[in-house]
Amino acid sequence: MEMKESGSNLVLYLSGRVDVHLASEVEAELNDIIKKHPDKNLVLNLDDVEYMSSSGLRVFVSLMRSLKESNRGLRLCNLSVAVKKVFEVVELMDMFDIYDSEEEALAAG
């Protein structure tokens, strides 16, 4: 997974399909990263995510929970229409900090 440090933020670039098949892999990797960077907020750039199922949602929810425990933030940016729709249908748009662009996400904190 590609990543970039930007001040107190760590930007991660997710790509491909985020479904049940890959969700646990992605989740493990993300948990690993947040442990290695214990003081960073996380910005997930979903620009290259082709597809996401509720398994992806589940990963983000659990990630947000882990970050909250160490008082860190999770921000999402560059969601495709299809990905955004999953959030909308399950009415999670308000629960996440969602930004149109990476710049906006970084500027927010």
Partner 1 sequence: MHHEKAGSPIVSALGNGRLQVVRNPEVDYILDLVLDEARRLVQARQGNFYLFNSISKLEPFLPAAASEQDIALCEDVIQARTSRLIPENPALCVYMTLQEGDLGVLLLREPAYFDQFYEADLALVQNLAATFAILLKSAFIDQRTPEVFLGFKSSLLLLLENAHLNHKIKESDHQLKSVLEVSNLINSSRELSEMIQTVLYSAKRVIRAESASLFLVDEKTGELYFEIIAGNKKDLKGFRIPRGQGIAGITAATKKSLIVNDAQNDARVFRQVDQVSREITRNILAAPLLIEGEAIGVIEVINTIDRPAFSEHDLEIFESFSDSVAIALQRRRLLDSIQRTNVQLERRLREITSLHAVARAQVEERTIQDLFARALNIVRDDLKVGRASILMASGSTLKMAASAGTYDESDATPGSLAHHVFSTNRPVFIEDFRENPEFAAMANPHRYDSRSCIILPLASPGQPPFGVLCLAEPSSGQFLEEDYKLLLTIASQIVKGYENLGLNEQIIVKKSLEKEMEITSRIQRNILPIKKPQHLHLDLAARSVMAKTTGGDFFDYYVHTPNGDVSCLVADVSGKSLPAALFMAVSSSILRTIIRQEIDPTRVLAQANDLLFEESQSGMFVTVFLCRYDPSTGRLRYASAGHNEMILMHENGNYEMLSGKGSPLGVLPAYRQKYLGGSTQVRDGDLLILYTDGVIEAVNSAGEEFGMDRLMSTLHEVRDRKPEEIVETVYKRVIDFSGSELQYDDFTMLVSRFFGTVRGKSDYHIALPARVESVPALRDFVLNACQRHGLAGQDLEDLLLVSDEAATNIVLHAYRKEDDKPTFDCDLEIEAGSLFRIQLRDQGIPFKREEVPGPDIRENMAGRRRGGFGVYLIKSLMDSVEYHRKGDTNFFVAEKILKKEES
Minimum distance of partner 1 from residue 70's CB (angstroms): 15
Complete DSSP assignment for 63-95? HHHHHHHTT--EEEE---HHHHHHHHHTT-TTT
Q: Toward partner 1, which CB reaches closer, 2 or 51?
A: 51
Q: Which residues, 63 to 102, sit near partner 1 by CB under 8 A?
A: 64-65, 68, 82, 85-86, 89-90, 92, 95
Q: Toward partner 1, which CB reaches closer, 66 or 108?
A: 66
CA distance 100 to 103: 9
Do 83 and 93 meet the contact criterion of CB atoms below 8 Å apart? no
CA distance 54 to 8: 29
Residue numbers at the binding site for partner 1 (CB under 8 A)? 17, 19-21, 51, 53-55, 57-58, 61-62, 64-65, 68, 82, 85-86, 89-90, 92, 95
